[in-house]
Copies of this chain bind each other. A is one copy, B any other.
Amino acid sequence: MATKWGILSAGKISHDFTVCLRSLDPAEHQAVAVAARNIGDALKFAANHKIPRAYGSYQELANDPNVEVVYIGTLVSFHYSTTKMMLEAGKHVLVEKSFTATSQEARELIDLARSKKLFLMEAIWSRFNPVFTLLMDKIKTKALGDVVSVNATFGLDLTKVERLIKKAAGGGTLLDLGVYTINVIQVAVGNKKPEQILATGHLNEDGVDESVAVAFKYSDGQVAMMSNTLRGQMPNEAHIVFTKGAIKIPVPFWCPTKVIVLTGENLSKEEVLEFEPPKVIAECNFVNSGFLSYEASHVRDCLVKGLTESPILPLDDTLTIREITDEIFRQVGVHF
């Protein structure tokens, strides 16, 4: 039986995700309905992606008995209300990162999904990328010894992008870029909570975080740091230092096609592994969006097994990431 997907929001990321669904085996994945606040947008999206039903309201999607799991691709500021609506209608949900604008909202959604025994996952696609699979394996097997530190940056010149510079849209660096730097750090330290988070930065005129720098302390002698900005392009790499080696994830570290494993004296031995994104049937908006296929397949795997949480990205990990973000907001002075 194919997994029957509803697509909530007809924006750019919904396009890419739906292209991936349609590129997978139709015996396994079907996009059966799409909803947008504007029926015209929904109809256009449905025609483009050959989706049988289009709705001009999210409630209609929630009411569609044919929809099994909903992919939510709205702005962050709509994640809480839409996810809640879908869970209350008995749908499983995959919601784009960042999960919610606050960790209080995250806790409410997690409680709701658990009480209703429905599947819920944040769409941090990085975790289903083969480079992250390799990273998690090296950590688990201690092939490079213990993790000592993590360094990640994600910054772009986004000063002209409305949704990122406005607080009402859930703007700022952290919810859009920071979720990726926090994610790679959390993966590298085994998803434990930091012992200390120290954050500083600058806000723009609308009160959202424009540039941040964060230092983390973890148990087992580990430290980490990350920086994000909307004002210029950073290296956008992640680097994990181990006691017996290092792993470098080059740009774009959030959806990488390449990883460099360094070992030996002075890390002189370099092993480069490359991965192609799965082929897709139509053009996408974002870089390497083909990797979204792995995320979609993972959701289906979980549903087929009757799981309500992903073992790769359980809701406690999402909550930890969200709580870290809130603590950074608090220290930097952002109030959502």
Contact = CB atoms under 8 A, between A and B. Distances in A.
Contact of A201 (B153, B223, B226): B223
Given A232-B242, A232-B246, A215 B215 contact: yes
Interface stretch (A12-20, A69-77, A192-200): A192-200
Determine the interface band of chain A, counting residues with CB < 8 A from chain B: 35 or more
Interface centre among A153, A232, A242, A248, by most B CB within 10 Å? A232
Contacts of A243: 157, 231-232
A108 B225 CA distance: 34
A interface: dominant SS: strand
A233 B266 contact: yes
Interface in A223-269: 223-227, 229, 231-235, 239, 241-244, 246, 248, 262, 266-267
B200 A210 contact: no
A60 B119 CA distance: 79
Contact of A216 (B145, B155, B213): B213
Interface string A143-186: 00100110101010100000000000000000000000000000
Contacts of A235: 151, 239, 246, 248
A222 B155 CA distance: 13
A306 to B, nearest CB: 41
Interface of A: 145, 148-149, 151, 153, 155, 157, 196, 198-202, 210-217, 221-227, 229, 231-235, 239, 241-244, 246, 248, 262, 266-267
Query: Nearest 5 pairs between A and B by C-beta?
Result: A198-B198, A213-B215, A200-B217, A213-B223, A148-B232
